[in-house]
Amino acid sequence: QVQLVESGGGLVQPGGSLRLSCSASGFTLDTYAIGWFRQAPGKEREGVLCISNSDGVTTYGDSVKGRFTISRDNAKNTVYLQMNNLKPEDTAVYYCAAGPWCNSVYVPPGYGMDYWGKGTLVTVSS
């Protein structure tokens, strides 16, 4: 059964950090590009970061540059999103998705991705 499962979300204070995990089962994650996306309350989905199957990284949002880092551990079949210096505007449901490649910033967020997780909620609030 093909699945992606996100974990690591929760409540964190502004300036704090969280590490999200995206674990795959039923397929080999290292052959896929894995993207992190988020959807804040009342807003459309936006791309965050994507890592290709050759470890190239695409940054979709300037707001996360220098604060968020994507990485993969193929041995664990897991991709991570390290989030530092979190801000209230980072509050969203965070999703990971697997697909053939990382899209450019001109493509709708998540377009063409094959598998999606159910999401994990990140709330940044004091």
E runs forming strands in the chain: 3-7, 10-12, 18-25, 33-39, 46-51, 57-59, 68-73, 78-83, 92-99, 115-116, 120-124
Residue 61: predicted pLDDT: 84
Q: DSSP 3-state helix, strand, coil percentages of the chain (rounded to 5)?
A: 10, 45, 45
Q: What tokens appear for 90 in the block?
A: 């980072």
CA atoms of 99 and 115, how far apart (whole Å): 7
pLDDT averaged over consecutive 10-residue blocks of the chain (126 residues)?
A: 95 98 93 96 95 94 93 95 98 97 93 96 97
116, β-bridge pairs: 97
Give the tens place of pLDDT for each residue, 35-64: 999 999 999 999 999 999 999 999 998 899
- Tell me the C-alpha distance between 51 and 41, whole Å: 25
3-state secondary structure of 123: strand
pLDDT for res 1? 85
